[in-house]
Copies of this chain bind each other. A is one copy, B any other.
Amino acid sequence: MTINKVTADTDTGAMLQQRFRETRRRTEWLCRHLETEDFVVQPVVDVSPPKWHLGHTTWFFETFVLMSHQPGYRLFHEDFSFVFNSYYEHAGKRVLRTDRGNLSRPTVAEVFRYRAYVDEGMEQLLSGQSLPTEVATLIELGIHHEEQHQELLAADIKYILGNNPLFPAIAVLSQSVEAKEEKPDGPEWISVPEGVYEIGFAGNGFCFDNELNRHKVYLGAYQLCNALVTNGEFLEFIAADGYGHFAHWLSDGWGWVKANNIQAPAYWHKVEGQWHYYTFNGLESVAPDAPLCHISFYEADAFARWRGRRLPTEAEWEAAAGKFNWGRRWEWTNSAYLPYPGFAAAPGAVGEYNGKFMINQMVLRGASDATPPGHSRPSYRNFYPPWMRLAFAGVRLAE
Interface residues of A (CB under 8 A from B): 35-43, 79, 82-83, 87, 89-90, 95, 99, 101-108, 160-161, 163-166, 168, 196, 215-218, 220, 246-247, 249-254, 297-298, 301, 334-336, 338-339, 341-342, 356-360, 362, 386
Contact = CB atoms under 8 A, between A and B. Distances in A.
B246 A89 contact: yes
B360 A252 contact: yes
Given A104-B160, A252-B359, A359-B250, A37 B40 contact: yes
Contacts of A90: 247
B386 A360 contact: yes
Given A105-B35, A105-B161, A253 B359 contact: yes
B36 A37 contact: yes
29 contacts: A35-B104, A35-B107, A36-B36, A37-B39, A37-B105, A37-B107, A37-B108, A39-B104, A40-B41, A40-B104, A41-B103, A42-B102, A43-B99, A79-B166, A82-B165, A83-B165, A101-B102, A104-B164, A105-B168, A106-B166, A216-B218, A249-B356, A250-B359, A251-B359, A252-B357, A254-B356, A298-B359, A334-B338, A336-B336
A106 B37 CA distance: 9
A43 B41 CA distance: 10
List the 10 closest pairs (A to B, CB-CB), nearest first: A336-B336, A43-B102, A37-B104, A218-B218, A251-B356, A38-B104, A89-B246, A36-B36, A216-B218, A40-B40
A342 B220 contact: yes
A87 B41 contact: no
Nearest to A89: B246
A102 B339 CA distance: 37
A243 to B, nearest CB: 14
Contacts of A358: 250
Nearest to A170: B105
Contacts of A251: 87, 356-357, 359
A282 to B, nearest CB: 12
Given A79-B166, A90-B247, A217-B218, 9 more contacts: A35-B107, A37-B104, A41-B41, A82-B165, A101-B101, A102-B164, A216-B218, A250-B356, A298-B359
A35 to B, nearest CB: 5
B360 A220 contact: no
Contacts of A105: 35, 37-38, 161, 164, 166, 168
Contacts of A102: 41-43, 101, 160, 163-164
